[in-house]
Structure 1
Amino acid sequence: MAQFSKALFSHPFSRAYWKEASAETRRVRILAIAALCMALKMAIASFRIPVADNLYVYFTYLITAVQCAVCGPVVGVLCGGIGDLIEFAIHPNGPFFPGYTLSSMAGALIFALFLYRTKITVLKLALSRFLINLFVNVGLGSLWSYMLYSKGYLYYFAKSLVKNTIMLPIEIGLLVLFFRMLIPFLEGKNWIAPQGEKKLPWW
């Protein structure tokens, strides 16, 4: 099987990076992987593990992270938006609100910026999940709740901050374990660039 054709990028702030990310939308293999990931997320969307009162561990974010690491930010953002719309159509939970679609796209973008065409490390996995919890789940999520319901923004912000802070180490731990197991498979399939490490490095 041919080796991965493109080198790793040191950062996502270059024209070459975004040119390559945009080109993924025209690659049949990438689109097939993206569709597979979306189907997996739909299949496990309702599966959760309770850890405390009103606190649950969900697993769809693990699939999103892999999808973004393989497919990049452009495909990842598109799938985030399309997947949210499909999930709402299949499992509607209250009225449709486009803010949650935006949150899904923003979360995919953050994962992709940290994991696509780069050396995947524990630090990058942790930072990506931290930013998603802080800015997407807490920041944007509280804004959407404020716009939809009657209580003030600070009420939803404080409630969401506590919940996401408690869940963060659990989610990071699962993310690291998931990638530690999956990276050899992804490399073997040439779905990600060669990492050059037998074990998932810390940074």
Structure 2
Amino acid sequence: MHFFAKRHPCQPFFTTNTLVISAIFVSLNIISTNVLVIQTPFIRISFSFLSIALFSLLYGPLLGGIVAAIADILGCLFFSPGLFFPGFTLSSFTTGMIYGYFLHNKKITLLRISLASVVVLIFVDLCLNTLWLSILYHKAAELFLLGRLIKCSVFLPIQIATIYVICKPVLRYKMVRQN
């Protein structure tokens, strides 16, 4: 079976190949979330979305969500001792599910990537993560919302362009390997 070959319905969901690639993407996500990051208490700017979007594109919504949640838990264990909050794990899982739903086994277009990114930014970043921050810091969500809205507005085109530029060559490689 090729590196990114499509799984037959009778094949096991977790193969050795899938587990190894999942571990690679978990580590990529942890590094991009916790090491290569600009962070304030309420806003985080990183390229962690890229590893989750790419993995979800290749393996689907469920595995994308699982890998994103595992990366969140492990990243929290290694880099934020004592600050684990399950809401952010739910946000990570939801992000993987959304990217997988919009991108897996579908023609990758700029519109499709834009829709996925907008849904993630509005539903996960602006709604869920703002809710989790307001619960954690016992402050009104409006205090966090303006800064997060500005960050999302500025970062959205960068996120869309980055996913598009990275995913297209990966899909071309995937198509060549399957033939």
TM-score (norm 1): 0.74
| 1:163 partner amino acid | K
Q: Deviations along 1:58-103, whole A, 9 cap, x unmatched?
A: 2221111111111111211111211111111111176211100000
Could you list the runs of 4 or more consecutive aligned residues of structure 1 that deviate by over 6 angstroms after TM superposition? Answer: none
Return closer, same or farther for 1:44/1:153 CA change in 2, 3 Å cut-off.
closer
Larger helix proportion, structure 1 or 2? 2
Please, which runs of 5 or more residues in structure 2 have no aligned partner?
none
Deviation, structure 1 residue 121: 1.3
SS in 1 for 2:60: helix
1:47 aligns with 2:6: no
Shift of 1:6: 7.1
Q: Secondary structure at the match of 2:124?
A: helix
What residue identity is the alignment partner of 1:168?
L
How far apart are 1:57 and its partner, in Å?
4.7
How much identity, in percent, do the aligned residues show? 26
Q: Does 1:146 align with 2:134?
A: yes
Larger radius of gyration, structure 1 or 2? 1
Match of 2:116 among 128, 135, 159: 128
- 1:104 is aligned to 92
Q: Paired residues, what number? A: 175
Say whether the 8 Å CA contact 1:107–1:136 is kept in structure 2. yes
The answer for unaligned runs of 5 or more in structure 1 is 8-19, 195-203
Q: 1:55 to 1:81 in 2, by over 3 A?
A: closer
Secondary structure, in 3 states, of the residue corresponding to 2:13?
Answer: helix
Aligned counterparts of 2:6 and 2:102: Cα–Cα separation in 1: 20
Decide which of 41, 53, 77 is 1:89's aligned counterpart. Answer: 77
- Give 1:28's aligned residue: 16
Mapping for residues 6-21 of structure 1, pairs under 5 Å: none
TM-score, length basis structure 2: 0.83
